[in-house]
Chain A
Amino acid sequence: MSILVIAEHDNKELNPATLKTLTAAQAMGDDIHVLVAGEGCAAVADQVAKAAGVAKVLCADHAAYGHQLAENISALVVSLAKDYSHVVAPATTTGKNFMPRVAVLLDVAQVSDIISVESADTFRRPIYAGNAIATVKSDESIKVITVRATAFDAVAAEGGSASVDALDAVFESDKVRYVAEQVAASERPDLSSARVVISGGRGMQNGENFALLEKVADKLGAAIGASRAAVDAGFVPNDMQVGQTGKIVAPELYIAVGISGAIQHLAGMKDSKVIVAINKDEEAPIFQVADYGLVADLFDALPELENALS
């Protein structure tokens, strides 16, 4: 049987999480189809068709899918699902939003946020904020799975030459209407896929002080993240929260500044390759996971770091 992967995109560009999800899908089977549902998303479909290992692209281009409303996307996916052994999507806020609907409408249990594929029906996934890793086996006829993208390498974005088939089925709920979006425009790399991430916590004291992090980030080409405390206090927007219930990151280098290291924060960053912590409290739990810890006042350390990188 074939595997259906649902692409994540913004109608213009493919989100890199999809290429990582494709690696997970390839470990489940080899005939991989990708659904691109959106509005004016033909360029995304062409991009997916070039990805390594994709056999076929299905493109549903309609206003009903433009904002990825879960009601509409899930109905479309369910209409296709019976031909597949697995339905797979990245565990982004979009995937988390529509995939459980797909599962329940197929009357199957979903396996969320997998970090490895042991075999076509057995997967590993973190539970309890990553304090335990469960190996689970799904005996469902159709396996509905979301993938933690940071746990997989991306397939090659070029080299494939899949066909693109247009779908004209339209599913449109009249009970939900898109109103508005507030998208944080940023010149910085995407938090979820950046090579370097520098995050600030409550120790930053206010939003203006994040400028100190930005100056360092500029030198490193880094994305900027935050702890829940920094987001709750209004220093920075919600999409910067790293953690169990925020974004999961696994960069080459993660620098935690003024963050204590609560388990919920660690859950989102402890798979980073190298972790640096800057904190004035030498007892802060963040030092237990940091490869390099600096006990210092961040208001001294950040300008020094910026200078040292110049």
Chain B
Amino acid sequence: MKILVAVKRVIDYNVKVRVKADQSDVDLSNVKMALNPFCEIAVEEAVRLKEKGTAEEVVVVSIGPKACQEQIRTALALGADRGIHIETDTMPDSLAVAKLLHKVVDEEQPQLVILGKQAIDSDNNQTGQMLSALTDMPQGTFASEVQVDGDKVNVTREVDGGLQTIELTLPAIVTTDLRLNEPRYASLPNIMKAKRKPLDVKTPESLGVELGSKVSVLKVEAPAERSAGVKVADIAELVDKLKNEAKVL
């Protein structure tokens, strides 16, 4: 089968982002960018399914500015076969991304689409569910285990109460949670090889999708800082402070 993986270029998870002085947005100039960690897990899962012989081809798609091609190359270095870049100057919202991915799904006809559960910049957690509704493919979100079996896939999901397992009829959509796998590192030879793998560039116009969002950002502020408190010498002092100063015991 063919697997489509959607990957997003985001700020590196180790970077603590700062807000611009004019409060228009966060400041991403000169900030290290990377593959969204949940997307890395998505790529890894697809590559493992290929290595097991379950999948024949892994196609990655990313939407956004030209620089997204770096993240597509990273995914190719991790073992994906071919990339699609849908180029736009700005990063579209989850609704627009889902509509664009819907077009790609129509063209590519994958049996499985794997996305991250959440992009760590917007923290939206929407796109996979939206794509599922648009394509009428069933969804297994927040997956910690994926087992393909004939025309079905069993997905174990991380939910508030513990774990839930559901069975989906393929073609289906899966979104990844942290425990699904531990992504590999790309080897140098694979990074070199990735440079020669095919990468197709498309535009939203060529796919017939209009961008633009009816949700506008009015302001981006820094959160209220917590002031660092005090160090206590021992447990006795801690318990005393909690009882008599903070009054939480």
State whether the Cβ of B81 lies closer than 8 Å to any Cβ in chain A.
no
Does B89 have its Cβ within 8 Å of any Cβ on chain A? no
A132 touches B221 (CB 8 A): yes
Indicate if the CB atoms of A247 and B138 lie closer than 8 Å: no
Q: Is the interface of A mostly helix, strand, loop or mixed?
A: mixed
A75 to chain B, nearest CB (A): 9
Annotate B177-218 by CB proximity to A: 1 below 8 A, 0 otherwise.
111000000000000000000000000000000000111111
Closest residue on chain B to residue A304 by CB atoms:
B235
User: Across the interface, which residues of B come within 8 angstroms of A134, CB to CB?
Assistant: 217, 219-220
* A residues less than 8 Å from B177 (CB atoms): 238, 245
A94: chain B residues at CB < 8 Å are 159-160
On whether the beta carbons of B123 and A244 are closer than 8 Å, the reply is yes
Pairwise interchain contact B160-A109, C-beta atoms closer than 8 A: no
Q: Within the complex, what minimum Cβ distance (angstroms) separates B129 from chain A?
A: 4
Q: What residues of A have a CB within 8 angstroms of the CB of B248 in the complex?
A: 196, 252-253, 273-274
Given contact pairs A127-B122, A133-B220, A138 touches B179 in the complex (Cβ within 8 A): no
Question: Assuming the A-B contacts A173-B138, A301-B235, are A74 and B214 also in contact, with contact meaning beta carbons closer than 8 angstroms in the complex?
Answer: no
- The residue that B215 contacts in the complex, of A127, A136, A237, with Cβ under 8 A, is A136
A244 to B123, CA, bound (A): 8
Determine if A98 is an interface residue (Cβ-Cβ < 8 Å).
yes
CB contact under 8 A between A290 and B228, given known A128-B120, A252-B248: yes
- Inter-subunit contact A179/B232 (CB<8 Å): no
User: Number of A residues whose C-beta is below 8 Å from B?
Assistant: 90
| B:69-124 near A, CB below 8 Å | 93-95, 98, 117-118, 120-124
Q: Does residue B154 face the partner (Cβ distance < 8 Å to A)?
A: yes
Say yes or no: A132 contacts B160, CB within 8 Å: no
Q: How many residues of B contact A (CB 8 A)?
A: 80
Interface of B is mostly: mixed
Inter-subunit contact B154/A96 (CB<8 Å): no
- Indicate which residue in B19, B230, B241 contacts A132 across the interface (CB closer than 8 Å): B19
Interface centre among B126, B132, B226 (most CB of A within 10 A): B126
Does A76 touch B at the CB level, under 8 Å?
no
Q: Are A132's CB and B162's CB within 8 A?
A: no
Give the complex CA separation of A15 and B19 in angstroms: 35
Contacts of B179 in A (CB 8 A): 231-232, 238
B22 at the interface (CB under 8 A from A): no
Contacts A71-B138, A127-B123; A100 near B94 (Cβ below 8 A): yes
Contact A263 B94 (CB under 8 A): no
* A168 adjacent to chain B (CB < 8 Å): no
**Taking the complex as formed, is B55 at the interface, i.e. its CB lies under 8 A from any CB of chain A?**
no
Docked-complex contact A109 and B95, CB < 8 angstroms: yes
In the assembled complex, A151 has its CB within 8 A of some CB on chain B: no
A140 within 8 A of B: yes
Q: Is A270 an interface residue (CB 8 A)?
A: yes
Q: Which of B123, B128, B137 lies in contact with A126, CB distance below 8 A?
A: B123
A70 at the interface (CB under 8 A from B): yes
For A98, what are the chain B residues with a Cβ–Cβ distance below 8 Å? 129
Contacts of B118 in A (CB 8 A): 245
